[in-house]
Amino acid sequence: MTGTVLAAAPVYLPQQIAFGLIAVTMIVAAIRVVTTKNVVHAALWLIVVLAGVAAQFIVLASEFVAVTQVLVYIGAIVVLFLFGVMLTRAPIGKEVELDNEPAQRVVGAVVALFLLACMGYVLADYFGGRKLELNGKVVAELGGTTAQISDSIFSTYLVPFEVVSVLLLAALIGAIVLARRD
């Protein structure tokens, strides 16, 4: 038995398995967001994607960001979308007109693949062969605390956060005004 080397099977941690399952669920839901012909169902699939992002933050032991994700995106923005759909008297059932022509689908697929290739190249170029050792560490051990994260979100990025809020509010008011012109 000299010279025989058996390769060990890779050992996956529960965090890696959870990440993979959540990522697959998010990918399927994201595809359903853009392929469904029902606007309300698209918003509900978007909730699944955003909940997956929050779940990924939980896997990363960043509970504060996960709760912020749920409150801001699922609790506010998706509800705003749903109210906008309901108040504008948009057709709720399946709508054939929401589907694109085959040529537009091809262009969309080409652009999506181009962006995927660009993102993959940039990530591979930046990280190269480096390996991040984060297993078993919590956010505080990595140098970040909840206070630092909240200060970053609500001080550094406060103005863009509020601008997006006002923009969404203006879009909702505009949709209501356009819908009520009947």
Q: Specify whether the CB–CB gap between 66 and 58 falls below 8 A.
A: yes
Tell me which DSSP letter residue 34 carries.
H
pLDDT at 89: 63
Q: Specify whether the CB–CB gap between 57 and 145 falls below 8 A.
A: no
The whole-angstrom separation of Cα 71 and Cα 78 is 10
pLDDT at 135: 57
CATH of span 14-98+145-179: 1.20.120.1200
pLDDT at 182: 56
* Both structure tokens of 151: 């200060």
Q: What is the pLDDT along the chain (182 residues), one digit of tens a residue?
A: 555 666 666 667 888 899 999 999 999 999 998 888 777 788 889 899 999 999 999 988 788 888 888 888 888 777 777 777 777 666 666 656 656 677 887 888 899 899 999 999 998 888 877 776 655 555 556 566 667 777 777 787 788 878 887 887 887 777 777 766 65
**Domain segments of the chain: what residues?**
14-98+145-179, 100-132
